[in-house]
Structure 1
Amino acid sequence: MTPDLLRRARRIEERVRHAVAERRRTDPDPDDAFRGLYLSDERIHRLLDEGRTVDAGAPLADGDETTALGRAFGLTALDTELLLVALLPDLDDRFEAFYGYLNDDVTRRRPTIGLALGLCGLSGADARARDRLAPHSPLVEGGLLLTEDLDRPFLTRALRVPDRVTSHLLGSTAPDPRVAHLLVADEVTAPRTDASPLTAAVTKGAHLVYLKSPLGGTAHSLAVQALRETGRNPLTVNLHRLAEDPAPDRAVHLLVREARLTGAGLICSPVDALTPHHLPTLRLLTGAAVPVILSGTVPWDADWSARPPLHLSAPRLDPAQRAAIWAAALPGPVPADIDLTDLLAPFLLTPSQLADAARTAAQSALLTDGALHPDHISAGARAQNAAGLDRLARRIEPSVTWDDLVLPADTRTQLHELAARARHRDQVLGTWSMRPGGGRGRGVSALFAGDSGTGKTMSAEVIAADLGLDLYTVDLATVIDKYVGETEKNLERIFTEAAGINGVLLFDEADAIFGKRSEVKDAHDRYANVESAYLLQRMESFDGLAILSTNLRANLDDAFTRRLDLVIDFPLPDAADRRHLWTKSLGTQVPLSPDLDLDFCAESFELAGGNIRSIAITAAYLAATAGTEITMPLLIRATQREYQKLGRLTLASEFGPYLDLS
């Protein structure tokens, strides 16, 4: 409690002592042990005979120095006196007995409105004085004072100071338990950036700011830096938790009171977590009497607030800054042979996510030899992904490498170029400002075209593994809908969730939804063209890495193909590549007969890698059933089964001397 408030409290105590002494002097039976439990006949007659003179011009209070609490809530000197009258029972339990005696009811041990006004030298009929305790008054509206027993007449309603206000006046900094779970500790701050525009705006009275933040943006760090430069403490609110609160409006009132008590500003994110159902809550938040800085990835909606916000964009960390934050959070030194800048380049993470990723990597290292490896770093970064996209796409943790690919040299080169685009997009599109206009994002998109089984999906997995990212395969069955407009909604949900994760998004059989626009002959053609046009626009604004695969490149819209960064063709393998594929598919763990003629298989059977892999698995099952190693007859039989699946004839020109084994 400040010296000013302590001095005021002592004066209130003197008034209470005087009121009690006066009550005892005028009480006909002051020593009655049951005083307060009943009213005697003598007391009733005395109250009836007692007159009262209303002094509407009584002074409000003297001119003591305004306290910090008064400045924050706009209190008058009278407000402070009334607050102290209600506060005294929480500071000294003797005042419960005093107030019970003065209320003539030992069960009512808090001051009533009438008693509080009387102790401040005011009449209960003074309209100005009554207004200081009305619902719209600074004391009540600000949450500093609660009026109870609302069913009673105004003057006999009890006054109570909330526990959080009492603890604050006594010097406690612990937040209100009701909203403590909504607050998060200050994130790891990013390297200092130029926050002067935001700092100047808040200093000049900008109480509402919206920071549009991309994936991996530094909105929180920028807001923290600006508030501290204005002399305010940052109070960070997790809007995901607020959206799940059973009484969000009440929580907002308590959060605003907490900010005013502590001289803080509110930093609230992400605004994307609040649905249209939470619009009243959001309007309460944006109308708060403290600086409020909101951040999110979606554009500002004018319905969110009755007052316009200041619009700013938060910068994104570059790879070197990410590496510095990650290294600072690691509990130990980073091995000299690890290039953090290169490993973290594909991951768009906030400072707090980078710190969590470093700690997760350190924990993962304990499962092995305790030494930190690149896989631990990638796994720690992937662990920061939200789980929302898992409901819309199948997540694959990459387990293949470049060595597992058997492709022509030019195709491999283009795949390496695609990985390089994803790794260096911040430098090229951000630092070097090579991003075109038109609302295009920093995403990278590519088309993999080729027959089934030529390695398109495996190549996407290899690129994800090379970047240390997860691969998300979109199930088109969950996207395409017969009802008009539903396909676009499903795709929007996928792109929205994908924007919040660090991963590779794979649309398999993409020609089903990215097909050519056609001449409009009926309503179906018109809506199909709307879908294609929407997809063209949405792909351009996507900030992630998207790979489309198709068996029918000719079916794709030309305008869509033009917007892709790379179009990579996957041809059927030649004989030399097929020989490598046979060897890789059979592996080193399966027992193989010396009579296997893999050169013959590679030369004679013109198959894609996926078909060869399927034959190898079928042959392994046949060998396991027979209890033998994989022999040439088993391999030929498995090949014939694959031919049957493909609807191909078993020709002597292909099977040659092994035709009888099929």
Structure 2
Amino acid sequence: GGPALPRINTTSEGRTLQALAGCHEHLLLELERVAFLVRAQVWRARQVADADHPYRGHFIPEAEVDALLARPDALPEWVRREAPLPPVELRRVLDRIEAIIDARARAALQAGHRPPLLALRNNFALDRFQYDAFLFALAVELDSRFERLYAYLHDDVSRRRPSVDLLLNLGCSSAAERLRRRRDFTPEGVLLRAGLLVWEADPNRAGGSSRLVGSLRVPEAVVDFLTASEPRPSCGELVNTPRPLSAWFGPDDVRARLRAVADELRTPSLEPATSAHQPGATTICLRGSHGCGRRTAAEGIAESLGRPLLVVDLPAERSEEHVTEARRDAGLWGALLLWRWSAETLPPSAVASRGGSGIPRRIEFIAAPVDAPPLPQSRYEHALELSLPPLSTTSRRCVWERALAPLGDTEALDLDTLASRFRFGGDKIAQVAASLAGDDRERAEPLAAPAIYAASRRHSRVAVAGLASHITPRRSWPDLILAADIEEQLRLIERRVRHRTTVLETWGLGARMPEARGTHALFAGPPGTGKTLAA
């Protein structure tokens, strides 16, 4: 015989049966199971290999050619060899190992630890073959001995990562199963489509290689998710604790609609999931103006479903890799995905895909402006459009009051003017409050309007380089020397700006005259007459 099979200690005192103190032990247990499977196949391969030939692996002997021609199916000779244990006994040992791993995984869940490898399998709905294929590829990233074992099974010392052909040989017991399972390693298969594996052509074959010969690699971001103590998504911002829908300061009827959508998403009615190969997806377009709370609404739905939220900018140029990475990260963390749309990014059609992403029951949001074109229904499996009204001044005042309350007494602040002057959304107001909390001001000092205004101006600046420059106003009315009629015009403009909220929102004139929302003034005159000072 060949080398002895690896010893898998199945006693309660064995190393592999220690209680899982964390999440990495589950990964180590699965790695031991993979080692058991690989070594069993290596033992088979050694039964047919001519290990004594000095040029083994560099030429094809006549005997091997005859064996290839006489082979009745696509399986190599070593696959058809008997295992070192009878099939029934081998299956019994594997079942026992898998039962041990499952029991320890359940113990980890009961202890409050969710093994990341278990989360990956469940979130992407991998079946046993797909899961094992992923583990065979992952083993190389965690233990270098697998490189040499795979090179031995390839009969080629330069091929140290598992090929499609090798994974089919390791996981299939018949030629018919090989043909059926080959689709798992195509671009449409869940492993590659979801970004869990990357197919790479054999660099030693100048004329190109078939898909069977190409190798498979686990992306570094996936390895980090499984092994890092504090893994982070490769793109975007992960919100592990989303705000509830009660944090969204909008009309009650719209909030009720958001709650209804969250309730519907708990059922399969809006999520036409079929199988791991044809997963359903729901895309929700949150349409509204800047500051209307699109992100807060997405967080509220995610919180209602008990899921985190991954916030990612739409790509600035077409990039399948960016889209795949974002959806893969959302799948790894079990998160809902929010695509942010801006003038610098591509439209949402850049991420539309009816074919799915490999993630069953995927839920995505798109934060779109009011004037954005509707989503092309034909390019989405299921699309919803939700219009969010702009934040009213009254609601904005409540948001300001809630955000500033932890920093000090807000009784003396003119929150009405603050809400009217800085028309921020909830996220921007939270950023202003956070920057104020980080300022090195004395805590005993009362919360003052100048500090709030200064912080708000810092956060309200937009990119206008080349068109305008920001200044800090240092002059006021006493510095102006103007004719009475000109000064009266300026004071009318000032009063228009000051009371625009009352006229347009409280009195409702803005709804009847949308074109009256802005204030435009032309300051004309020769240099030195005070145009900038007047502004």
TM-score tier by shorter-chain length is 0.5 to 0.7
Alpha-carbon distance in structure 2 between the residues aligned to 1:425 and 1:351: 21
The equivalent residue for 1:147 is: 199
Q: Is the 8 A contact 1:133 1:139 kept in 2?
A: yes
Provide the aligned length of Structure 1 versus Structure 2: 442
What letter corresponds to residue 197 of structure 1 in structure 2? R
1:339-389, Cα deviation, whole Å (9 max, x unpaired): 34433431011333224334555778769x988653332222122234444
**How is 1:161-180 mapped onto 2 (pairs within 5 angstroms)?**
161-170=218-227, 174-177=231-234, 179=235
1:58-108, Cα deviation, whole Å (9 max, x unpaired): 99x999999643443343322112222222222332222211111112221
- 2:188 alignment partner, SS class: coil
Deviation at residue 231 of structure 1 after TM alignment: 2.3
Change (3 A) 1:268 1:153: closer
Alpha-carbon distance in structure 2 between the residues aligned to 1:399 and 1:103: 77
What letter corresponds to residue 139 of structure 2 in structure 1? L
1:435-485, Cα deviation, whole Å (9 max, x unpaired): 3336x16825376899999x9957963xxxxxxxxxxxxxxxxxxxxxxxx
Which of 363, 383, 404 is equivalent to 1:327?
A: 404
Q: Is the 8 A contact 1:187 1:220 kept in 2?
A: no
Alpha-carbon distance in structure 2 between the residues aligned to 1:320 and 1:279: 32
- 2:132 alignment partner, SS class: helix
- 2:187 alignment partner, SS class: coil
What letter corresponds to residue 24 of structure 1 in structure 2? R
Change (3 A) 1:449 1:236: closer
The equivalent residue for 2:9 is: none
The equivalent residue for 1:96 is: 147
Q: Does 1:29 align with 2:51?
A: yes
Alpha-carbon distance in structure 2 between the residues aligned to 1:141 and 1:188: 28
Q: Is the 8 A contact 1:72 1:260 kept in 2?
A: yes
Alpha-carbon distance in structure 2 between the residues aligned to 1:76 and 1:446: 63
Q: Is the 8 A contact 1:212 1:312 kept in 2?
A: yes
Q: Does 1:17 align with 2:39?
A: yes
The equivalent residue for 2:183 is: 131
Deviates more, 1:320-329 or 1:443-452: 443-452
Change (3 A) 1:158 1:208: same
The equivalent residue for 1:653 is: none
The equivalent residue for 2:164 is: 113
Change (3 A) 1:441 1:72: farther
Which of 265, 270, 273 is equivalent to 2:344?
A: 273
Deviation at residue 48 of structure 1 after TM alignment: 2.9
Alpha-carbon distance in structure 2 between the residues aligned to 1:188 and 1:115: 43
Change (3 A) 1:340 1:375: same
What letter corresponds to residue 261 of structure 2 in structure 1? A
What letter corresponds to residue 167 of structure 1 in structure 2? D
Q: Does 1:214 align with 2:214?
A: no
Q: Is the 8 A contact 1:219 1:315 kept in 2?
A: no
Larger Rg: 1
Relative contact order higher in (CA < 8 Å, ≥ 6 apart): 2
The equivalent residue for 2:304 is: 229
What letter corresponds to residue 198 of structure 1 in structure 2? L
Alpha-carbon distance in structure 2 between the residues aligned to 1:130 and 1:412: 81
- 1:168 alignment partner, SS class: helix
Which of 29, 34, 38 is equivalent to 2:58?
A: 38
- 2:460 alignment partner, SS class: coil
Q: Is the 8 A contact 2:136 2:162 kept in 1?
A: yes
Deviation at residue 258 of structure 1 after TM alignment: 0.8
Alpha-carbon distance in structure 1 between the residues aligned to 2:56 and 2:221: 31
What letter corresponds to residue 115 of structure 1 in structure 2? L
Deviation at residue 267 of structure 1 after TM alignment: 1.5
Q: Is the 8 A contact 2:302 2:309 kept in 1?
A: yes
1:406-435, Cα deviation, whole Å (9 max, x unpaired): 679999788667656545544664466553
What letter corresponds to residue 303 of structure 2 in structure 1? R
Q: Is the 8 A contact 2:162 2:215 kept in 1?
A: yes
The equivalent residue for 1:551 is: none
Change (3 A) 1:73 1:196: farther
Q: Is the 8 A contact 2:396 2:425 kept in 1?
A: no
**How is 1:82-481 mapped onto 2 (pairs within 5 angstroms)?**
82-123=133-174, 126-149=178-201, 151-170=208-227, 174-177=231-234, 179=235, 182-183=236-237, 191-193=247-249, 195-201=255-261, 203=265, 204-205=270-271, 207-239=282-314, 242-243=315-316, 248-274=319-345, 281-283=350-352, 290-302=362-374, 306-307=379-380, 308-316=383-391, 318-327=395-404, 332-333=407-408, 337-358=412-433, 360=435, 373-389=448-464, 391-393=466-468, 397-404=472-479, 419=494, 422-423=497-498, 425-426=500-501, 429-430=504-505, 433=508, 435-437=510-512, 440=514, 443-445=517-519, 457=531, 461=535
Alpha-carbon distance in structure 2 between the residues aligned to 1:416 and 1:185: 46
Change (3 A) 1:45 1:371: same
Q: Does 1:69 align with 2:140?
A: no
Alpha-carbon distance in structure 1 between the residues aligned to 2:498 and 2:241: 26
Q: Is the 8 A contact 2:336 2:363 kept in 1?
A: yes
Deviation at residue 236 of structure 1 after TM alignment: 0.9
Deviation at residue 337 of structure 1 after TM alignment: 4.5
Which of 35, 60, 73 is equivalent to 1:54?
A: 73
Change (3 A) 1:2 1:174: closer
Question: What is the RMSD computed on CA atoms of the aligned residues?
Answer: 4.6
Alpha-carbon distance in structure 1 between the residues aligned to 2:241 and 2:131: 36
Q: Is the 8 A contact 2:283 2:384 kept in 1?
A: yes
Alpha-carbon distance in structure 2 between the residues aligned to 1:322 and 1:286: 41
- 2:185 alignment partner, SS class: coil
Deviation at residue 183 of structure 1 after TM alignment: 3.6
Q: Is the 8 A contact 1:187 1:221 kept in 2?
A: no
- 1:16 alignment partner, SS class: helix
Deviation at residue 137 of structure 1 after TM alignment: 0.9
Q: Is the 8 A contact 1:188 1:355 kept in 2?
A: no
Change (3 A) 1:254 1:36: farther
Change (3 A) 1:320 1:285: farther
Deviates more, 1:279-288 or 1:213-222: 279-288
Q: Is the 8 A contact 1:365 1:371 kept in 2?
A: no
What letter corresponds to residue 156 of structure 1 in structure 2? V
What letter corresponds to residue 326 of structure 2 in structure 1? L
Deviates more, 1:167-176 or 1:131-140: 167-176
User: Which runs of no fewer than 5 residues in structure 2 stay unpaired?
Assistant: 1-22, 81-86, 88-93, 103-116, 203-207, 272-280
1:475-513, Cα deviation, whole Å (9 max, x unpaired): xxxxxxxxxxxxxxxxxxxxxxxxxxxxxxxxxxxxxxx
Q: Is the 8 A contact 1:124 1:130 kept in 2?
A: no
Alpha-carbon distance in structure 2 between the residues aligned to 1:351 and 1:199: 19
User: Which runs of no fewer than 5 residues in structure 1 stay unpaired?
Assistant: 462-662
Q: Is the 8 A contact 1:327 1:333 kept in 2?
A: yes
Change (3 A) 1:270 1:424: farther
Q: Is the 8 A contact 2:240 2:308 kept in 1?
A: no
Q: TM-score, normalised to structure 1's length?
A: 0.56
**How is 1:495-644 mapped onto 2 (pairs within 5 angstroms)?**
none
- 2:247 alignment partner, SS class: coil
Q: TM-score, normalised to structure 2's length?
A: 0.67
Q: Is the 8 A contact 2:285 2:365 kept in 1?
A: yes
- 1:271 alignment partner, SS class: coil
Change (3 A) 1:136 1:409: same
Alpha-carbon distance in structure 2 between the residues aligned to 1:88 and 1:348: 53
What letter corresponds to residue 224 of structure 2 in structure 1? S
Change (3 A) 1:82 1:452: closer
- 1:292 alignment partner, SS class: strand
